[in-house]
Structure 1
Amino acid sequence: MPDTSAAPAPALAAQAGSADVPTVAVLGLGAMGLPMATRLATGLTVHGFDIAQERLDLAAAAGVAAFASGREAVAGADAVLLAVRNGEQLDAVLFGENGVADAMAPGAVVILTSTVGADAVPAAVERLAERGIGLVDAPLSGGPVRAGEGDLLIVVGATPSDLGKARPVLELLASTLTVVGDRPGDGQALKTVNQLLCGVHIAAAAEALALADALGLDTAKTLEALGAGAAGSFMLSNRGPRMLEAYTEDGAEVLSRLDIFVKDMGIVGKAARTVGLAAPVAAAAEQLYLIGQAQGLAAADDSAVIRVLAPAKRSA
């Protein structure tokens, strides 16, 4: 049965200063990595690495020990937290020319927080096992603010032994921690299902608001009315206001890039084809993100997908 538990952050924080406090290395101190490292530093010993000195300086100011290379950062760490773009980048970070796997201590664990697809995991698990290192498959949901507050949703696939080593890290980051299976890859599988729904919901919200505008409705009032009824959803209430900002000069603040859903919906489609399942709604949503990317919206907030359907706002 899945195990869902909330994070006992105060208990973990109380360990700070103890000789038994685990050490975690965070590789990449970007939009998500820095707030996660900062959060972890409230209860654990944290090593950090980033190619940008500015990010290292910010991490150091938050109590993170900054290192000049990833290999130096992971030396002696009990866990290594990774946020990578895809399976190819996962392999490069772990096993490439400057890969960190050979610098990690046997018995340590890699915590993979990214959505890379279940098929990218087995080879990494096998190669890490040869070095006595475990992989905890822990893709997460939530933005930078929630990361800094320890309010992430994390789904996990890992052996009980490896999960036990990773729990001090995961419980500081998660408000909801769901263990979905004891195999690395199980977390990726559930996150793939999650991203199918998220991607479709964003696309559907964009289509609805574009139609409201085309019908001459006040889109702000439409959004308010929809959110109060059965048509409401988290994605509508979260992305809807940003969709209305998509037509402003600067567009909506980028909280989740559109090309992330190009990647994730691609993972969804590949997974569905692998098991012989038709997923026509997901496929249609994927095409909207692909068109948006082709139109130069890759780095825009994913709410900008509304501009694929309606390049210009009709009503005032």
Structure 2
Amino acid sequence: MVQKTAVIGLGSMGYGIAQSVLREGHATFGVDLDPDLCAKFIAEGGAEGALPDVAADLDTVVVVVLNAQQTQTVLFGADGVVPLLKPGAVVVSCATVPPDVARDLGARSAEYGVHYLDAPISGGAVKAASGQLSVMAAGSKDAFAAAAAVLDACAETVFQLGDVGAGSAMKAVNQLLAGVHIATMAEALTFGMTQGVKPETFVDVISKCAGTSWMLENRAPHIVAGDYTPHSAVDIWLKDLGIVLDIAKADKFSAPLTAAALQQFVAAAGQGLGAEDDAAVAKVYARNAGLVLPGDA
């Protein structure tokens, strides 16, 4: 069945999701504040039409914005889409937000007869574009059924985790590990440099040893190449690890490794690196140790 879908937020992840949904033959509207991105997507075959004009006919709205505030604005702000949707439509909410925010958005959507799927994503821009994301999803059976066609188009694995809020809780766990892994990778790579281990040798050897991680294998090559084009920016981790620590604090759970990793990303942002790829956290270690990373003068 051909679905009418809007993907709101055409960043590196959202654009790939929109491409994947479109590739499966669904009528797909790309929505973003950047008109050039919208025009680019239309040129690739995306559907034309302003969101307020097409909302009543949509089956699915995928929201791939930065944070909880933007998600709330998109769904229930002055020009919020949820009140415009038909009963039975589904919102697939992909941003990393606290579980209580997801539960609130789900309840507010239900007041309009709209299903809400708490559906944070993992896999990066490449897997978004190839339709191979992992989705940590939570919601009702009806919400999963309504979103099935779009999930099939953009995801390789969909975890059904229970009620709304459970997906965001799992994403917080994932982000704790991912953020710590990136910071630890940067620490290990630069520590190796102090011992004469070249960054490219670090990647070649450690990626085949027990100390590796997906984040190491994905991000360390950025340092080797001296290329900090943002696939996922440093500033993302101020938000995501901040969410983890807020949840931990509320539950009186000590998370010292998360706190230490967050401080390294804060330091990177303070050095003007916030918009660079998150592998740029290695520059904090390098500057402190007087090291010269690849690509640096």
Query: C-alpha distance in 1, partners of 2:122/2:280?
Result: 20
Q: Does 1:190 align with 2:170?
A: yes
Query: Out of 230, 238, 263, which is 1:262 matched to?
Result: 238
**Equivalent residue, structure 1, for 2:222:** 242
Query: C-alpha distance in 2, partners of 1:298/1:314?
Result: 20
Structural mapping, 1:118-157, within 5 Å: 118-157=99-138
Query: C-alpha distance in 1, partners of 2:168/2:109?
Result: 18
| 1:26–1:82 Cα contact (<8 Å) kept | yes
Query: C-alpha distance in 2, partners of 1:88/1:53?
Result: 21
SS of the residue 1:263 aligns to: helix
Query: Residues 98-150 of structure 1, C-alpha deviation per residue, up to 9 Å, x if partnerless?
Result: 11111111111110011112121122122111111111011111222211211
**Equivalent residue, structure 1, for 2:9:** 28
Query: Out of 181, 192, 211, which is 1:231 matched to?
Result: 211
Query: C-alpha distance in 1, partners of 2:153/2:146?
Result: 13
Amino acid at match of 1:26: V
| 2:286–2:293 Cα contact (<8 Å) kept | no
**Equivalent residue, structure 2, for 1:294:** 270
- Worse-matched range after superposition: 26-35 or 89-98: 26-35
Query: Out of 15, 32, 41, which is 1:59 matched to?
Result: 41
Report the CA distance between 1:281 and its aligned residue: 0.6
Query: C-alpha distance in 2, partners of 1:303/1:117?
Result: 25
Q: 1:25/1:187 Cα in 2 relative to 1: closer, same or farther (>3 Å)?
A: same
Q: 1:218/1:51 Cα in 2 relative to 1: closer, same or farther (>3 Å)?
A: closer
| 2:68–2:95 Cα contact (<8 Å) kept | no
Query: Residues 31-81 of structure 1, C-alpha deviation per residue, up to 9 Å, x if partnerless?
Result: 22222112111222212322333222221122211223x322422111111
Structural mapping, 1:42-121, within 5 Å: 42-43=23-24, 44-68=26-50, 70-121=51-102
Richer in helix (by share)? 2
CA RMSD in angstroms comes to 1.6
Stretches of structure 2 that go unaligned for 5 or more consecutive residues are none
TM-score relative to the length of structure 1:
0.87
Aligned residues: 291
**Equivalent residue, structure 1, for 2:291:** 313
Amino acid at match of 1:58: K
Q: 1:290/1:65 Cα in 2 relative to 1: closer, same or farther (>3 Å)?
A: same
- Worse-matched range after superposition: 270-279 or 205-214: 270-279
Q: Percent identity?
A: 36
Query: C-alpha distance in 1, partners of 2:36/2:73?
Result: 24
Stretches of structure 1 that go unaligned for 5 or more consecutive residues are 1-19
Query: C-alpha distance in 2, partners of 1:66/1:32?
Result: 21
| 2:283–2:293 Cα contact (<8 Å) kept | no
Query: Out of 152, 167, 173, which is 1:171 matched to?
Result: 152
Query: C-alpha distance in 2, partners of 1:287/1:128?
Result: 36
Query: C-alpha distance in 2, partners of 1:77/1:177?
Result: 22
Q: 1:67/1:313 Cα in 2 relative to 1: closer, same or farther (>3 Å)?
A: farther
Query: C-alpha distance in 1, partners of 2:29/2:254?
Result: 44
SS of the residue 2:224 aligns to: helix
**Equivalent residue, structure 2, for 1:12:** none
Query: C-alpha distance in 1, partners of 2:158/2:107?
Result: 25
Query: Residues 70-100 of structure 1, C-alpha deviation per residue, up to 9 Å, x if partnerless?
Result: 3224221111110122221111111111111
